[in-house]
Amino acid sequence: MIRKMIGAVAVGAFLLALTGCSTASGTGSAGAAKAPGDIVVGFAQVGAESGWRTANTKDIQDAFAASGMQLKFSDAQQKQENQIKAIRSYITQGVDVIAFSPVVETGWDAVLKEAKDAGIPVVLTDRAVDSKDDSLYVSFLGSDFIKEGQKAGQWVVDEYKNQTDPVKIIQLEGTTGAAPAIDRAEGFADVIKADPKFQIVASQTGDFTRAGGKQVTEALLKSNPDATLIFAHNDDMGLGAIEAVEAAGKVPGKDIKIVTIDAVKDGMKALSDGKINFIVECSPLLGKQLVDIVKKVVAGESVEKRILTEETTFTQEQATAALPTRQY
Ligand code: AHR
């Protein structure tokens, strides 16, 4: 009998490995039937650096309010040490699940190990961690940032297909060390490298903020007055770049084309107005999916290790059509 049970557990574990699912085994909460009101989730947010982040925070807070679960929320103000402090505090409080969107990719193993040792499952939302040990989190819900960079690069390749002169590009990077900054740069470079006429003449971080995008563009336009394209890793930096381009006496969208990622309302409005030329969507609406993951984890059910967000791209016409019903 015991041998049969061991066999069944082994088969179950094998099937989970095959389907890429994971359970929060070894946690105090797995398998326990808890009422939603008794489930406590600690969420450690990156900050409030962009329109995307504001929409993401609202969506997560709304989804948990609707679920009846208790949400403890902290804002790390873009600092890894603040996020680590918040996670440690959730561990001390003994929450059922910790979710967080890591400010940067590296440096998480120690605190994630503490959560694991305390039997608290961790869900990554939006951004990944760079760790060799993927048992430190149960699931990662978010976009494919490399693909986003590739889509931006593909638009550039198509837009300039009939031009033989060099295309001098300024890249506004997201927060240094953050997964979306690393992956978007990689995806973009991968696609444009096939044609040497595409030259990234300057690449600097604007920290995903509008002020950062403006300041960096002002400086980089002075040292690279012949740049004709800006690739910004998010809408906010692209919106800051528009101000800098106009201040330099040039026309954004014409003299200098701008490609961004996110598709928040302000970005879509600028695209519709012709000041941005193309936007790759990155959805901040992760709340409902996160609630579902938490419910499953607390019930001891298996969850997918990697859950990808569905996203599209927008041209000027598509942005104009989408704006009236855009949620964020
Ligand atoms: O991690 C997602 C990125 O973070 C968004 O593209 C950006 O706007 C945000 O700050």
Would you place residue 27 in the very low, low, confident or very high pLDDT band (cuts 50, 70, 90)?
A: very low
How many beta carbons lie within 10 A of that of residue 281, not counting itself?
A: 20
Distance 309 CA to ligand 1 centre (A): 14
Would you place residue 25 in the very low, low, confident or very high pLDDT band (cuts 50, 70, 90)?
A: very low
Q: Are 298 and 70 in contact (CB under 8 A)?
A: no
For the chain, how long is the longest CA-to-CA vector?
81
Going along the chain from its start, the domains and CATH numbers come out as 31-142+284-310 (3.40.50.2300), 145-282 (3.40.50.2300)
Ligand 1 mutation target, pool 45, 49, 50, 101, most atoms within 8 A of CB: 50
Task: Express each pLDDT in 10-21 by its tens digit.
Answer: 444 444 444 456
Distance CA 109, CA 87 (A): 12
Q: Are 208 and 47 in contact (CB under 8 A)?
A: no
Which residues does residue 41 pair with via DSSP β-bridges, in sequence order?
71, 97
Nearest ligand 1 atom to alpha carbon 179: 1
Ligand 1 mutation target, pool 46, 78, 101, 311, most atoms within 8 A of CB: 46
Ligand 1 mutation target, pool 45, 49, 52, 328, most atoms within 8 A of CB: 52
Task: Express each pLDDT in 152-197 by its tens digit.
Answer: 999 999 999 999 999 999 999 999 999 999 999 999 999 999 999 9
Distance 155 CA to ligand 1 centre (A): 20
What pTM does this model have?
0.92
Ligand 1: lining residues by beta carbon, under 6 Å: 49-50, 52-53, 126-127, 180, 208, 234, 236, 261-262, 282
Task: Express each pLDDT in 301-323 by its tens digit.
Answer: 999 999 999 999 999 999 999 99
For the segment 94-118, the average pLDDT, to the nearest whole number, is 98
For residue 250, pLDDT over 60 is answered with yes
229, two tokens: 């394209």
Question: Which of 328, 49, 44, 83 is CA-nearest to residue 180?
Answer: 49
Nearest ligand 1 atom to alpha carbon 47: 10
Which residues have a Cβ under 8 Å from the Cβ of 149 and sit 6 or more positions away? 183, 184, 185, 186, 187, 188, 189, 190, 191, 261
Cα atoms in the 13 Å half-sphere on the side-chain side of 104 = 14
Distance CA 54, CA 51 (A): 5
Which residues have a Cβ under 8 Å from the Cβ of 228 and sit 6 or more positions away? 167, 168, 255, 256, 257
